């Protein structure tokens, strides 16, 4: 199978962890240990989030007094693709010495007319207490919103329309390479009135880009790996329960938060609706088990595992 895998930025840098290079490299190595076994049986496209990382770089840039203005988000996005892409590239090369691995810088086309530019809602950077967040918002012109029990900065997250280098990624896959690409959802760009590419101040949701890429590459499966083992219904309430096998229609009937699970659910539903393939959301360390149909939230057109993935253990009895 051709499998597109998206790694959560929050799984590569957990919410309370220091953003040290050593911490992230250790997390990347653990992620690669979970993914490398899949490369024996499948063509792999690996993309990754960058929410926590881009937030760190944004803070550094804002604090750099030698700059007359902080680096814009397209540039910060490219920096995170380089940084996380490098860690993934090296870890994958070490884990898969027989394979060619590439890490690409990618741009993602968005529409200049996207309503997200007027209503920013994508969380970036560290969490703050409310008063601190409000002070920073006033001081730096940020928009801040509540994320669980804390507060975070938000930026515009327009819908991805196309990964500019899609054909190149396909060539690399066809030649047998493992492709790390479209990190952080890709660097957001628009076309100007001359048809030229120009970067914009935004971040693209990596889950939506992963779905777009999976469609464009004719992938068989889309795997969104994050820091929770399942999507839960009635999340955060005493009635919360994991969702196992499901359909796009069943998922779409429920509400999920816009800054976190919402885009993942949207992405998996879209992919399954458009391609009839299989998509899943689950924990990074469960990658293989999710593809085998043994855990995670698995979305297929009819809510049953595909013929080429093993049935769940409880269904064997």
Of 80, 106, 107, 226, which one interacts with ligand ADP (CB under 6 A)? 226
9 labelled catalytic: yes
Examine residue 204 and tell whether it contacts ligand ADP (CB under 6 A): no
Written as one string, the DSSP assignment of 57-109 is HHHHHHH-TT-SSPPPHHHHHHHHHHHHHHHHHHHHHHH-TTS-EEE---EEE
Catalytic residue among 49, 85, 264, 296: 264
Examine residue 86 and tell whether it contacts ligand ADP (CB under 6 A): no
Give the ranges where 202-258 is alpha helix by DSSP (H).
206-216, 248-252
10 labelled catalytic: yes
Q: What stretch of H or E contains 43?
A: strand 43-48
Examine residue 9 and tell whether it contacts ligand ADP (CB under 6 A): yes
Specify the pairing of strand 143-147 against strand 241-243: unpaired
CB of 203 to ligand ADP, least distance (A): 12
Catalytic residue among 9, 183, 186, 259: 9
CB of 190 to ligand ADP, least distance (A): 24
122 labelled catalytic: yes
Give burial (CB, 10 Å; 0-12/13-18/19+) of 63. Answer: exposed
CB of 152 to ligand ADP, least distance (A): 10
Residue among 108 and 260 whose Cβ is closer to ligand ADP:
260
Catalytic residue among 8, 27, 122, 125: 122
Examine residue 248 and tell whether it contacts ligand ADP (CB under 6 A): no
Residue among 157 and 190 whose Cβ is closer to ligand ADP:
157
Q: Give residues with Cβ within 8 angstroms of 6, minimum separation 6.
A: 47, 48, 49, 206, 207, 210, 222, 223, 224, 225, 267
Structure tokens at 222: 């889309």
Of 3, 4, 5, 11, which one interacts with ligand ADP (CB under 6 A)? 11
Residue among 68 and 237 whose Cβ is closer to ligand ADP:
237
Give the start-end residues of each E strand in 98-220. Answer: 101-103, 107-109, 122-128, 143-147, 150-155, 162-163, 178-180, 187-191, 197-199
Q: Residue numbers of the site for ligand ADP (CB under 6 A)?
A: 8-11, 49, 51, 226-228, 231-232, 235, 256-257, 260-261
């Amino acid at each position: 199978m051709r499998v597109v895998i998206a790694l959560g930025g929050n799984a590569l840098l957990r919410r309370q962890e220091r953003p040290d290079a050593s911490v992230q490299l250790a997390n990347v190595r653990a992620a690669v240990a979970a993914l490398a076994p899949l490369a024996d049986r499948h063509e792999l496209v690996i993309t990754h989030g960058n929410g926590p990382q881009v937030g760190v770089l944004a803070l550094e840039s804002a604090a750099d007094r030698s700059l007359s203005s902080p680096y814009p988000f397209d540039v910060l996005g490219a920096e995170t693709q380089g940084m996380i892409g490098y860690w993934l590239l090296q870890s994958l090369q070490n884990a898969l010495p027989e394979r060619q691995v590439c890490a690409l810088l990618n741009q993602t086309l968005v529409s200049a007319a996207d309503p997200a530019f007027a209503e920013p809602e994508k969380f970036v950077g560290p969490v703050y207490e409310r008063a601190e967040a409000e002070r920073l918002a006033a001081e730096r012109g940020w928009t801040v919103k509540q994320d669980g029990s804390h507060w975070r900065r938000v930026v515009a997250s327009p819908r991805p329309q196309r990964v500019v280098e899609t054909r190149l990624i396909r060539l690399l896959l066809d030649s047998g390479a493992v492709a790390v690409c479209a990190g952080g959802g890709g660097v957001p760009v628009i076309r100007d009135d001359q048809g030229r590419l120009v970067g914009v101040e935004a971040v693209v949701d990596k889950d939506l880009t992963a779905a777009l890429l999976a469609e464009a590459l004719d992938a068989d499966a889309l795997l969104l790996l994050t820091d929770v083992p399942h999507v839960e219904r009635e999340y955060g309430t005493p009635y919360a329960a994991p969702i196992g096998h499901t359909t796009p229609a069943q998922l779409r009937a429920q509400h999920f938060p816009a800054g976190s699970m919402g885009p993942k659910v949207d992405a998996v539903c879209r992919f399954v609706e458009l391609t009839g393939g299989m998509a899943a959301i689950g924990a990074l360390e469960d990658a293989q088990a999710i593809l085998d149909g043994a855990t995670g939230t698995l979305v297929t057109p009819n809510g049953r595992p595909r013929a080429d993935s093993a049935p769940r253990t409880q269904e064997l009895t």
